[in-house]
Structure 1
Amino acid sequence: MLNIELIGESEVVVTKDNTAKALKSGELEVFATPAMIALMEEAACNCIAGHLENGQSSVGTKLDIVHISPSPVGMKVTCTARLVAIDNRSLEFEIEARDEKGVIGKGSHSRFIVDKVKFQNKADSKK
């Protein structure tokens, strides 16, 4: 069962594959903002993993984040997501990403609980 204050984490080591240069979000070999966003969403998913009903999943609907400090190749980045609000099927998270030297990003993230089969069928019907 979902409840406020659930916490989820995710982590990754910065490699050439997840740099701004590799992901085409910049020219430098530092942890890319799109990679940080993916890590944040993964932490939110991990936060609610095992707490949804059978056949349910969640989809991201909104992100409001800042990327405040660069992380070089070789550095570990850890993200923590905390569930702060539940409104029926709408979930709100506070998220923070840190590297080995401190906070590199933070913000809020919204997810919505969906029925896996219905949602996939709706997406597939666009073909």
Structure 2
Amino acid sequence: MKDSLVPGIQYVHTFTVPLSKTVPALYPESEEFVAMPEVFATGFLVGLLEWACILALKPHLDWPREQTVGTHIDVSHSAATPPGLTVTVTVELLAIEGRKLRFAVKAHDGVELVSEGKHERFVIDRERFDAKLAGKRSG
């Protein structure tokens, strides 16, 4: 982690919702998901929030050796967003506790607030992380 990684870092990321990020596309193997409305899926929303945090952190890490993984998410999903609208995500790094990073996250679709809450990420060394995964795979 670089010295520039400090609380208060903010980042804004925008994403226009395509049909491929709606509820029916989340698990196309599930007839129940396929039957649901074509609105931005919560699962993809969580990924978008994570993406914004990753982009906020990237300049402050020894990328790609250092990366972050999500470890906790506590957010609302309070409004439906149809495809074609642009979601703006705003993130702020609130605290650094060793390798644990805590963020405030918020998303707005240009009409209304879509999501807000907290997200935690953990800084990893990619090579060590991959080695641990390899050990888990081999039993």
Is TM (by shorter chain) over 0.5? Answer: yes
What secondary structure is seen at the aligned counterpart in 2 of 1:95?
strand
Q: Compute the displacement of 1:10 (Å).
A: 2.5
What secondary structure is seen at the aligned counterpart in 1 of 2:20?
helix
Moved over 4 A (4+): none
Q: 9, 15, 21: which one pairs with 2:12?
A: 9
Q: Distance in 1 between matches of 2:12 and 2:44?
A: 15
Q: Distance in 2 between matches of 1:87 and 1:69?
A: 32
Contact in 2 for aligned 1:11/1:39 (Cα 8 Å): no
What secondary structure is seen at the aligned counterpart in 2 of 1:104?
strand
Which residue matches 1:18? 21
Say whether 1:77 aligns with 2:80: no
User: CA RMSD, aligned part only?
Assistant: 1.4
Q: 54, 64, 78: which one pairs with 1:45?
A: 54
More strand by share: 1
The number of equivalent residue pairs is 127
- What amino acid is the match of 1:108? K
Bigger Cα Rg = 2
User: What are the ranges of 5 or more consecutive residues in structure 1 without an aligned counterpart?
Assistant: none
More helix by share: 2
Q: 1:124 to 1:9 in 2, by over 3 A?
A: farther
Deviations 1:21-73 (A, max 9, x none): 21138411011101110000001111111101352111110000110001111
Q: Within 5 Å, which residues of 2 pair with 1:88-107?
A: 88-107=98-117
Q: Distance in 2 between matches of 1:103 and 1:35?
A: 16
Q: Compute the displacement of 1:84 (Å).
A: 0.3
How does the TM-score come out when normalised to structure 2?
A: 0.86
Q: Distance in 1 between matches of 2:13 and 2:60?
A: 17
